[in-house]
Every structure is written in C-alpha cells, then in structure tokens.
Amino acid sequence: MHSSIWAVGLAVTGLLICRISARGGNLPEPPPTPRLPVTNFYHGVAVVDDYQWLEKGEAPEVRAWCEAQNRRTRACLDAIPECADIEKRLRELAAPAGLVSPSYSRLHWRQGRLFALKYQPPAPQPMLVTLDSLQDLSTERVLLDLGRLHAEGRASLDFYLPSPDGKRVAVCLSENGSEQGTLFFYDTATGERLPDKLERVQFPTGGGSVAWAADSQGVFYTRYPAPGERPAADLWFYQQVYYHALGAAQTEDRYEIGREFPRIAGIDLESSPDGRRLLASVGNGDGGEIVHYLRSPEGVWRQITRFEDQVKQARFGRDPLYIEWGRDEAVYLLSFRHAPRGRVLRLDLNAGSLTEAVEVIPQGAQALTGVLPAASGLYLHYRDGGPSLLQWHDFFTGKTIKLPLRPSLRGQPPANSSIAAVQEMLVVRGDELLYRTVTYLDPPGWFQFDPNVSASQARGTALQEPNPVDFSDVEVVRVNVKSTGNTEVPLNIIRAKGARTNGNNPVILSGYGGYGISLAPSFDPTRRLWLDLGGIFAIANLRGGGEFGEDWHQAGALTNKQNVFDDFLACAAWLFTNRVTCPERLAIRGGSNGGLLMGAALTQRPDWFGAVVAQVGVFDMLRVELDPNGEFNTTEFGTVKDPAQFRALHAYSPYHQVREQTLYPPTLLLTGDKDGRVNPSHSRKMAARLQAAGARGPTLLQVNFSGGHGIGATFGDRLAELSMIYAFIAQQLNAPFPLVDRGPWAGAVTTNAAVVKAKLIFSDLAARLAVSREPSLADPVWFGPERSGAGRHNLVAFNLGGLQPDTLYHYALEVNGRLERSRQGQFRTFPHGPASFTIAWGTCAKTGSNSEVFDRIREHQPLLFINAGDFHYLDIGENKPARFRAAYDRVLASPAQAALYRSTAFAYVWDDHDSGGNNCNKTAKSHPAARQVYQEYVPHYPLGLGGGNQPIAQSFAIGRVKFILTDLRSERDPVSDKTEPQCSLMGRAQKEWFKRELLAAKGRYPLICWVGSVGWVGTKGTNFYPLPHTNVTGVLHHTNLIAAALEAAAKGRKYPSPGDQENWLAFPTERREIADFIKANQIRGVCYLHGDAHSLSADDGRNGDYATGGGAPIPSMGAAPLDQNPSIKGGPFSQGVYRPRPPEGCFGLLHIHDRGETIEVTFSGRNSRDEEKIALKFSVPAALDPAP
C-alpha cells in the first residue's frame, strides 16, 4: 500500500535556474493550441473536451507544444530581474556556507547499530549511513551515496530495510522521479552491492514494500505482474507478495499472497520482532480502506480484519524487558469503527477473529494517528488539528505520560514548541523511544525518551539539527475559521512578530485536504526569504485531512469534496475580513491533491487571488481515473461510473469549470513529464483551457522532462523551482526582492554632510548611492562605488559631502546597476542658526518592534530622531560580534522602524539591554563586540574619544543648539553605598571630554541638549511614585502621592539600594561634580534628554539642581518606552509622569523655536495614539550672534 501517496503537498519538479534578461516588451503569446473537440457521455450528460489530444504525452506535436510553453515561461522569467537573485538567496538559506548540519531521517535500529538517510545540502541526494552511537557522529559510515548512482544525481531511494542481523540492507531505487523501483541488496560491512536484483517491486500506483525473513537469508517483497502474466493495461495493478531467497534468481521466487486482492491493492509488509510472523496491510486504493493479513511461522496466511472494520494500522507487540514477563503475543490495531478519532485494540495472535480483540486505549479527545508498541506499554501519537501530541501508556500501571515534543536544549527552548509535529518514531530497545519532531520555526531534531529513566524528561541526541536561519523574530499563530456547516477550520499564520493588520500584506495561502493526511507543522529555512519581503504564510488544516480523525477525512472525500474548497475559501475570506491582506496581494499555492485545490479555488473565486501556483495538480476529474494511479484514487475522489459521484466530480472539476471571457488570476502550472502519480496531461490541459479563456495575467506552464512528482528531485531541482515560484509570486503581488538587505539609513548629518550605511543581501555587489533633491531622484549626484564583502558583512557606507544646508535630500542605492527604489530614503541637512526645528527621541523597544509608535514619530517629520538607548532587548552578555549584528538585523527588519530611519536623520547612544545586559556596567564582557558592531552598522557622528574600545560619546549642532550624546553604560563603575563617592557613571576620560564639550559650547550655543540614556532627577532612598507593582496608568503627580510614599516609608518599605539603581541617583557625588562644574563655569541653557524609565516625565529644573548650594537647575525630559511594559524611576518631576498602558508606546518631541533673542523650547511627551500626555515649556536667552 502506498500510504504516502499524494502527501507531497508542495511537490517539486526540476526547472532551469532563472536568469536575468535584458529583453523588454510584452510577454509572448501562448503557442497555438488547436481545439479538437471530443464529446464524452456520462449518465446522459454530454461533456465536450477540446484538448484530449494533449493527453498523448509521447506524441511529437504534444512534445513540441510543451517545449513552446517552456520557452514562453522562460521568457516570463527573463522579464523578472530578481529571479536569479532569489535563487541565490534561496541557496544561501538552504545551504549556508559552513553552517548546514545534516538531516537524519527514516531510521532503523539493528543489533545496536543505527541506519539512517543522511541529507546535507547542497548534495543532490541523501546518503544511506550507519552509526554506532546516537551521541557520536564520528562513528558514522556511508553505505550508499545516492548522488553517485546517476550522472545527474537523479537516482532516488524509494525505501530501504536492514536485515535482522544488520549484515545486509535491502534498498529500492528508481531514477528521474519515476518511482519505478528495483530492489537491490548491499553488504553493510563492505558497502558492496550483492548480485540479487528484484524488479517491478515499486510503482507510484500501489507503492512497494519489503520485509526480511527471521534468518536474514531472504525477503518478502511486493511485485507487480511481469509482461505476459497479465494484459499490458494491468501491469501496474494486482500487486502481490513473493518470497526471495538471497542468491536465487527472481524467476525462482515463491508466491505468497495477493491474487485475491483488489485490482488497486497497495501492500505494506511488516515482520514481527522475532521475524517469525508477517503482517500484510492491504489498501483498497488510496481512500483509506485497509484489510490485514497475518502469516504464521508455518507460512499460513489468514485474514484478521476486513475493510468494514476500519482498522488503519496493525503493529506487533514487542518482547518484554525481562524474560520472566513472557512475550507479548499480540497485534495492536488502530481502529476507527465506532470511534472516528481512533482507539487501540489488542488481538491475540492465536485469536480466531477480531471479535476477540480487547480495547486497551479508548477513543480520546484528539485524533489518534499512530500506535507503537514497546516492551511494557504503548506510544500513542495524536493529532490536535495538525500539531502532534505524544503519550506513553504503561501496561502495568495504566498511567499515561505526555512526552515533551521539543525539549529545551542548551537552555534554549524552541520557538512555538506547542505547535510541533512528530515526524518519525521507533522503539530501539525495551521502552526506549527515539522520535523526531519539528516546528514551523525549528528544524527536525531526534530525542530519546525512556519512562524507566525519567517520566518527564527527554534527552537530546547528536542527530539534532541546529537552526541554520534565525527565526527569533517570527511567530506562529493558530486561529479557527468558520466554514460551511459552522465547521471550525484551523489556520496557521507564520508572520513577523508585530506584523500589521493593514489589509495589504503579501500572503501565501496553502492547503491540502485529502486522503486523511494531516498538513502538520514542517520546517523550511527558505521561508525566511518571503518573510524578509514582508510576506506572511497561511497554512490551512482543511477537511479531508486527518487532523481531527476519520470523520474529518470523510467530510472532505468523495461527494463531500466541495467542503475542502469551502474551507479554503473561508480561510481566504478570513484573511480579508481581518485585514491581513487583500485579493490583489493573496497568492495561493498547493501541489498534487493541493493542486486540485488550487484549480477549484481559482475557478470558483477567480477574483480573490493575485497569483496561483499549482504543482503537479489534478484538474480533469472526469478522466483522472483513466490513468493507472488515478484508478487508485477513485476510493478518495469517487468515480464517474457512479451517477452521484459523477455529478459531484463534474460540479467542481477545475478543467470543466473554466469559463470563457473570465479574468482568471495569473497562474503558474508546474508538472513533471515522468510523473507516475498525477498524469502531466492534467497541467497541459488546464494551461490550454486557461490560456484560451482569458486572464488578468499570464498563465504559464513549465514541464520538466526529466522529473516526476517531485520524489527524489535533486537539491538543484528544488531550488530552481522554488526560485521560480517566489519570483512569480513576488512579481504578481508587487513584493519586490531588494538587493539591499537592511537599511539604508542616514546619520552624522550636518549642514553640508551626512553618512549613509546599508547592508546588501550578497557579497561582491557593486553599489552606488544616488542623492537628489527630487523624490524621483532626477539628476542625482552619485557617491561611490562601494563593494560589499563577506569580511565587512556586506555593509557599505557612503560619506556625503558638498551638500547644501537646510535641504531635503532623497537617496537610494543602485546595486549591480539596479536602482533600489523600494528602499529609498530621505534626510534634511541641518540649518545654520538661528533656526527653528523639531527633533524626536525615544528609548526602550522590544527587539524588532513594529509598533505604531514609530509611525507616529515619522508622521511628525522630525529633523532628527535620536534613539537614547535599548535599541534592542537581547541582553547579549558575550563578546560575540555576530550576535550584535543579528540584533541590528532584527531591528532594521522591522517595517515600521526601517520606514522611520529612512525618513529622517538618525543618531543613537546605547543603554544596558543593547550593550551588555540588564543593569550592565563596564565589567560586561560584551562591550568590545558592541562597540565594534555599532561602528560597523550605525551612521554615527565622529566619536569624541576615538574608535576602538572607547565610549560612543559624540556631539553635533543644529543651528544654535548643541547636542552632546554621552555613553552612560560602557564606562559605568559597579557601585555600592561604600564605594559610591569614588565611582563614576561616565568614566574619567568621557567626563573630561564632556566638560570640554560644555566649555566649547559656552557662549556659542545658547541651548545645550545633553542626551543620556538614564534619568537625571532622583534622590537616594526615596520613592515619589510608589506604583511599580500596580496597574495604575495615566498621568501621575508626586504631590498626590507623597502621603502614600510617607506611609510606605513608615511601614518600613525597602527601596532599591543605589547599586541597583540605573540612573544618576546612584552616583550623587559625580552628579554634584558635574552640576558644580556647570555652575562654576556659568554654562547656561543646559537641559537633559533621557529614557530608561518606561514612562514620560518632565521637570522644569527645580528638582534637578544638584549643585552645591544650588544655582544650576537643569530641565529634564524623559521619553519612554517606545514599546515595553511601564515603569517609573526617579523623581519628583515638576510636570509629573505618565505611566502608559501596554501596548501603548511613548516618545518625545522637542520643538526648538529660535527667535533670535531667546530660544523657546517645548517638550511634548506623546503616546502611540499621538496624544500629548506630558508637556514642558521653557526658554533660554540668546544673543543675536551669527551662526557658529
């Protein structure tokens, strides 16, 4: 039985790699496709088919037509300049240089040795290997490298099975995706192929199977009739079981069973643990009807279940842990009769009939999809709407244990561990389970569990795959969508954290819905490409699958198939209603049975989709059963021979539902010429029908003449097809693939200069920067060229000189001759004084936040945005530049933040979470890496103390206002009550630089804006706003809370010690020193801008005068958090504080109005709804001096 048939929901076929072409013009017309009508009659209904001639794949005219279609498709690809770049990026994601760990699958355990398929891209095919240890990969030995069996790497392994003694392995091999398998045998000690060769073992119709005899000297195997045994039309039907003794000719093999089986039988074989018995599970086609036969040690076969018993699985009991317990002489049956979610029966091997079976596991709340006996219990695999649940049931205690699906390894829990799937499991010895699990965001990993060792913990193995791609900024959300019949359909949404519901996101929706196959979580590193384009994936768990049991399957089978399409369309409608996307930006993609889904969706709602990709799909539902494999699927789809089933098939058959003069969406049809599962004629005919009917965009057909259904496709084939799919979808949905990976952003802006930095997607790209006063970038001034390089992490920088003051400039990178307008930015050079302007600042945002607060800032069009700390919240404690680079990449990937940073000039000084961890100081090991990457990524002003291992302090001027940015983290001393008088927050060198900057500004700049990451106002041992553990939000003023503070103090409330405080109150001696310096040197007009405390605050200086005897009041303004939970620090503040209510964000605007004789300053503390919550106004005297 071919249990995995149609399961490749996103099957692949090999395609030519895309190229960039200089050709322009319109897409060529489709090749001429004659209409040669043929009329077929079904139950009195005449059905005209214009394109039956395209069913003859071997005909020269059909081959020529397909080649012309391929040329046209290629012309369309040549018109997409990003196609080659997309293929390159996909290769980097799927096989990053030096980072790809092998994937191990299809494991078997024999005599203390592990057999596995090992796949490590970019190898074309996997290898068959053995390992002596689950924890030591150095014991690995290659038995068979499939990539070397075929000149083009197109040999594939259909299945394999080691012998009981582990000395030989039976391997079924096929070529070019044909799945027409031949069984070979290999010596596991030498890797040599033995002389035995068994033909006609495997075919896409019923599949194939093998089981070893107990003595390892022969095998039971499936065989299709040889020519001459049956008519030619029957050669891929009537599968039977034979026994082959090693060393004998295949013609001498002994018939075992099968002549009485259905024409469309598909057989799976399994030996008992001692090899003395054999189970044959026989499927009646692919609709899920299965009957089971048992072979006794004496060679006698008997039927133990019937189709109507609805037993889907049968598994032999295993030997006990201790010989005294006796053998478990039984088979365990997964039955759905009177239990649509499944139950487990135990049938004694000597029982007369199924009526003697005993229920051991009753039906539960979830769908039971797999049972695996162990020595003293059962492992039970459930589906909960798609994700898995895995349980251990103990025979002796009757207790059930839930297994962890994704155990935490190295202290790092996997993302979305609750949305995980069990892909494989096997018992290696006793009760010890080896199981492979995966999530949408975590690669497969193998884990060990033994209830006799631990009832709650699983252990990792060396077969765990590290994640080659960072998905830490991505989340998976499951929602339920109402469909017809009030059915709730699960929809999995994979999106960037904080993704907006603006109704305009590009989305790819996929589904399957058939054969009782669950569309379970799976990992794909190449999803990163679509996510980086701002895309979202939506994966629907439709009726027809096995997500909720057999009733769920039957609700989407036979005459109920329309329910599958209704579910899918309901999911699309949900995406529209909930403003995730719109029809123009929704693409749908599916393969095989999912290809049928695509055809039904596009014909039933042609106006709902911006692009359709159907891979190896089924479209002509009236003639599908005329194909060999199509006949196997009549038990799932139905047959035209039945009047009711014909009416249902005809009603939704995509090929027959295409209507003339209808604007169908752009559609890409992919098929393999050697596909034995789905006849490629379906795609040929559907393409001809759509091209004749009309469309809003191209209908493209690509036929791979050396591929099949996708099984065994090479790594290159898969990448080439995937690049084609993404290029097509991205073009149709207007989601361009930029060569600029992060940025660009502009900083270090002055009256006549600026710095622009960006990260390019690849190394060795040539980049220039176009700068213009026009948004169209007309008549640009070019800067560069620069070339990206791996040694510079693909970062490029442009120093812009010769600019005009107070001028708005627009800029974009030209990369390899392509102007990246989707990443266009702007900034305004600073004016000479006197000048009025507005700046914005804020601190403390969750890593990669996409909060609307960044939109509100951008809408105010500030001259400059200053991030005054906690640019990210990763708390990196190691001196690892790569981690800091990843942090910048995450932040700059946020659409809202990237848009802000491209809209204005940028400046940045860090705090603790973005430089070394919470409350870090100068002892943090991370600071060298933090400084290095800051200078790589950030377009900053010249650092006041130079580069290298120095603070990132810097200063600049706008008009007659001086800005001094200080680094209050990397030089901060650890402080305690005892050491405080000798401690510094700034460090000696930075403090001396700061004083020099103040003296240089004196008399030249009437207003000096000192920017620090932490608060200025606060008194040791006080708490004027005692609300850190309440839900009180809004505007607070200390005068209303003094009583509460005094009451708390009277009750002995303990306030944080100075060493635990993060602001200036922990360093009162140094704070007084600075205030005394300002007072002694008569430096006027100093104000302080900060963040850190997650609240808005403002003080007019009355509480911020820390000079000895007073005389140096410093107005203080705090603006935070951009996107974090609220907190209040310091105080009191004359204007009070504003404690936001999550997810409310906050920022500050500083309006400077230079009137000549005075400079008026207005602070507006605002929230993400752009409401003013805290305000402060003050003015400083200013002589009418010329601009400095």
Q: Dihedral through CA 228, CA 231, CA 233, CA 239, nearest 10?
A: -70
Specify the pTM.
0.92
Beta bridge partners of 755: 747, 799
CA 119 – CA 443 distance, rounded (Å): 13
Whole-number pLDDT of residue 7: 35
Q: Cβ(731)–Cβ(861) under 8 Å? A: no
CA 920 – CA 876 distance, rounded (Å): 10
Using only the alpha carbons of the chain, give its radius of gyration. Answer: 35
Q: What are the residue ranges in the chain where pLDDT is below 50?
A: 1-25, 411, 1028, 1046, 1049-1050, 1052-1060, 1187-1188
- Domain 38-91+481-732, second-level architecture: 3-Layer(aba) Sandwich (3.40)
CATH 3.60.21.70 domain position(s) in the chain: 830-1181
> What strands lie across the sheet with 193-202, from one edge to the other?
155-162, 168-175, 181-187, 193-202
CATH 3.40.50.1820 domain position(s) in the chain: 38-91+481-732
CATH 2.60.40.380 domain position(s) in the chain: 738-829
For 32, residues 6+ apart whose C-beta sits below 8 A from its C-beta are none
Pick the CATH number of 322-465 from 2.40.260.10, 3.40.309.10, 2.130.10.120, 2.40.30.10: 2.130.10.120
Q: Which secondary-structure segment (H or E) carries 373?
A: strand 367-373
Whole-number pLDDT of residue 635: 94
Assigned token pair, 220: 């039971």
- Chain segment 235-275, per-residue pLDDT in tens: 999 999 999 999 999 999 999 999 999 999 999 999 999 99
User: Helix, strand, coil shares of the chain as percentages rounded to 5?
Assistant: 20, 30, 50
DSSP 178-198: ---EEEEEEETTT-PEEEEEE
Question: Regarding the domain with residue range 738-829, which homologous superfamily does it belong to in the CATH classification?
Answer: Purple acid phosphatase-like, N-terminal (2.60.40.380)
Strands (DSSP E) along 374-419, which ranges?
377-383, 388-394, 400-402
Whole-number pLDDT of residue 666: 97
Report phi then psi at 965, rounded to 5: -100, 125
Helix (H, G, I), strand (E, B) or coil at 649: helix
CA 1025 – CA 1037 distance, rounded (Å): 8
Assigned token pair, 652: 């939704």
- The end-to-end CA distance of the chain, in Å, is 86
Please, is 823 exposed, middle or buried when counting C-beta atoms within 10 Å of its C-beta (0-12, 13-18, 19+)?
Answer: buried
- Residue 294 is which amino acid? L
From the list 610, 613, 609, 599, the residue with the least C-alpha distance to 685 is: 599
Please state, in angstroms and as integers, the Cα–Cα distance from residue 560 to each residue in 229, 543, 647, 651, following that order: 38, 9, 12, 12
- Domain 830-1181, second-level architecture: 4-Layer Sandwich (3.60)
From the list 1053, 957, 951, the residue with the least C-alpha distance to 1012 is: 951
Parallel, antiparallel, or unpaired for β 459-460 and 445-449? antiparallel
**Residues of 476-507 as b/e, b for ≥16 C-beta within 10 angstroms?**
bebeebebeeebebbbbbbbbebbbeeeebbb
Whole-number pLDDT of residue 1055: 45
Whole-number pLDDT of residue 1020: 74
CATH 2.130.10.120 domain position(s) in the chain: 102-303, 322-465
Whole-number pLDDT of residue 57: 93
Assigned token pair, 877: 């404690």
Question: What is the biggest distance separating any 2 CA atoms in the chain, rounded to whole angstroms?
Answer: 112
CA 278 – CA 212 distance, rounded (Å): 9
Whole-number pLDDT of residue 14: 31
For 516, residues 6+ apart whose C-beta sits below 8 A from its C-beta are 288, 544, 545, 546, 550, 553
Q: Please state which CATH number belongs to domain 102-303.
A: 2.130.10.120
